[in-house]
Amino acid sequence: MIYDDMRYPDPLFLGQAFSYVSAGNNTNTKHQGEFMGLLSFFTSKNESTAKADIIKNIDIMAAINAHLKWKVRLDKYVNGTSDEQLDPQLICMDDQCVLGKWIHGPAKEYFMDDPKFKILLEDHAKFHMVAAQVVNLVLQDNVANAHSVLRGSYLKASRQVVKDLTDIGKQFHADKAA
């Protein structure tokens, strides 16, 4: 990853400089200590700045609304009033929606160690699997079970994704205020 923004020094340069200092090419321990302090400053500042930039890439309220709209779409589909041709093989893919692209893209690198992010990752995947299950049941002419899944496990999965997104949003704003 190469950054052309001054907030992010080139990691290749930092890595080369670290190798130079740690290999003993510079025997002055004062310079080694200064470099390590500088490296620590850049990496901690970069991580914090990068996380903030990544959070800005997702509109949490829009992601919540998009997932809530799936309930209406699936209701219409199950009731036979939808004009949409829904494909369960696409719906089950949790990396195709805006939230999924964010989760599996830029956010994953910086938030993978965050327990709330891991929960969101798992719950979002489950949401897509259950939504695909509803569509599959309709395609199998099993509308009664589709209604049951929609009112049960789908509703639970949807609520959990909304809760996860709300928790992450609160956490980010609390971290930002601190």
Q: What is the DSSP string of 43-105?
A: HHHHHHHHHHHHHHTS-HHHHHHHHHHHHHHHHHHHHT-------HHHHT-TTSSHHHHHHHT
Same domain, 67 and 142: yes
Segment 78-87, tens digit of pLDDT: 999 999 999 9
Question: Residue 159 maps to which CATH number?
Answer: 1.20.120.30
The answer as to whether 149 is a domain residue is: yes
Model pLDDT, residue 63? 86
Enclosing domain of residue 22: 11-55
The answer as to whether 2 is a domain residue is: no
Same domain, 170 and 127: yes
Please give the tally of structural domains in the chain. 2
Mean pLDDT is lowest, of 77-86, 106-115, 137-146, 149-158, for: 106-115
